[in-house]
């Protein structure tokens, strides 16, 4: 039983906190040019990425006429470009994107599109693989729903995001302490989104992965070796800062409203924390085993991030 718990805990280490790619589609009548930018660390396990990546984003009714991919080591990215043709000019495009199936489950792809001065964009993840580009300005209501919904879903976008919240539950020794830890975690996120974009600091994804992993491992050490420590609120704040960097990247890439995204993300996290707190009563007797699994997860994740 103990080994199984440890094994389950380590499995999500293949995921990333920050997993995002972007694409630009320019449509001219019955022709379109597509450019894809994928972080190199996302395709280390993808066989034949030149073919596989373009096979996992499809524009309904379009035929690919040529494509080319290459590695951009200067920007740690893999770049692809492709030209498509339809049998007749189009005014809307149905798109299917399944990048999370070939990268990591919490991968997010942002597709920006332009047609004769009109613009549209779509966000794809494991739960939303289809979208229609209509090339018309969205209404204020549509903007609010789309952007706040994106924040809600991004907060729960993968196993690593949920692990952060589970770590807070495990570290909380009382309901009052959970409120303090959750408050610091959310404050750290807000600080990242509010401050980092106004600085010259642009942390590399690998740095964020490694630092977040060490923070989780340290929290596990506190649970195991320092059961009466009073500084867990500080570690929760640091966790929030690293989690907030993911939202920084998302807001910067999508140009969404930071307050809308962060507010709905906080709501999602609060709901999950409440549910996990209620469930934690059933597993409190395994606290040390779970903390050991948390420590192992962090160490494996750190090694993989290097």
Residue of higher predicted confidence among 158 and 53: 53
* Token digits of residue 207: 């740095």
pLDDT at position 7, please? 38
C-alpha to C-alpha distance for 95 and 116, rounded to whole angstroms: 19
Residue 6 in this model has a pLDDT that exceeds 70? no
Sketch out the chain's domains with CATH numbers: 20-137 (2.60.40), 155-305 (no CATH)
pLDDT digits (tens, 9 = 90+) for 93-105: 999 999 999 998 7
- Nearest 5°: phi and psi at 213? -60, -45
Cβ neighbours around 185 below 10 Å, total? 26
Residue 5 in this model has a pLDDT that exceeds 50? no
Give the 3-state secondary structure of 67-133: EEEEEEHHHCEEEEEEEEECCCCCCCEEEEECHHHHCCCCCEEEEEEEECCEEEEEEECCCCCEEEE
pLDDT at position 218, please? 85
Q: Is the dihedral of CA 9, 11, 13, 15 positive or negative?
A: negative
How many residues would you count in the chain?
306
**Band (264; pLDDT cuts 50, 70, 90):** very high
C-alpha to C-alpha distance for 43 and 115, rounded to whole angstroms: 30
Q: What is the pTM of this model?
A: 0.77
Residue 10 in this model has a pLDDT that exceeds 50? no
Residue of higher predicted confidence among 217 and 284: 217
b/e sequence 194-227, b meaning 16+ C-beta within 10 Å:
eebeeeeeeeebbebbbbbbbbbbebbbbbeeee
Residue of higher predicted confidence among 184 and 300: 184
Residue 9 in this model has a pLDDT that exceeds 60? no
b/e sequence 65-88, b meaning 16+ C-beta within 10 Å:
eebebeeeeeeebbebebebebee
pLDDT digits (tens, 9 = 90+) for 14-71: 556 667 899 999 999 999 999 999 988 888 889 899 999 999 999 999 999 999 999 9
- Nearest 5°: phi and psi at 108? -125, 135
pLDDT at position 109, please? 94
Q: Is the dihedral of CA 6, 10, 11, 12 positive or negative?
A: positive
Closest CA to 21 of 49, 48, 2, 1: 49
DSSP 203: -
**Band (158; pLDDT cuts 50, 70, 90):** low
Per-chain mean pLDDT for the chain: 86
pLDDT at position 16, please? 61
The mean pLDDT value for 129-138 works out to: 89
**Band (227; pLDDT cuts 50, 70, 90):** confident
Q: Is 116 left (phi over 0), alpha (psi -120 to 50) or beta?
A: left
The mean pLDDT value for 220-236 works out to: 85
């Amino acid at each position: 039983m103990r080994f199984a718990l440890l094994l389950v805990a380590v499995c999500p280490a293949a995921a990333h906190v920050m997993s995002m790619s972007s694409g630009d589609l320019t449509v001219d009548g019955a022709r379109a040019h597509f450019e894809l930018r994928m972080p190199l660390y996302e395709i280390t396990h993808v066989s034949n990425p030149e073919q596989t990546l373009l096979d996992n984003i499809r524009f309904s009714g379009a035929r690919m006429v040529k494509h080319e991919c290459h590695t951009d080591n200067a920007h740690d990215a893999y770049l692809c470009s492709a030209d498509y043709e339809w049998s007749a000019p189009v005014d809307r495009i149905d798109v299917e994107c399944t990048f999370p199936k070939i990268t990591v489950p919490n991968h997010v792809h942002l597709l920006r599109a332009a047609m004769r001065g009109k613009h549209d964009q779509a966000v794809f993840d494991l739960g939303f693989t289809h979208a229609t580009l209509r090339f018309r300005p969205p209404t204020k209501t549509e903007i609010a729903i789309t952007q706040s919904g994106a924040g809600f879903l991004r907060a729960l976008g993968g196993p690593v995001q949920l692990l952060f919240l589970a770590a807070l539950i495990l570290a909380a020794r009382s309901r009052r302490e959970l409120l303090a830890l959750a408050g610091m975690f959310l404050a750290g996120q807000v600080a990242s989104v509010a401050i980092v974009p106004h600085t010259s600091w642009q942390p590399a994804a690998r740095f964020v992965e490694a630092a977040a992993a060490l923070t989780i491992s340290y929290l596990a050490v506190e649970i195991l070796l320092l059961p009466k420590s009073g500084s867990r609120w500080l570690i929760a704040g640091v966790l929030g800062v690293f989690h907030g960097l993911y939202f920084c990247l998302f807001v910067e890439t999508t140009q969404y409203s930071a307050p809308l995204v962060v507010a709905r993300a906080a709501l999602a996290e609060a709901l999950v924390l409440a549910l996990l707190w209620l469930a934690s009563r059933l597993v409190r007797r395994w606290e040390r085993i779970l903390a050991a699994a948390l420590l192992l997860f962090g160490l494996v994740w750190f090694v993989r991030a290097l």
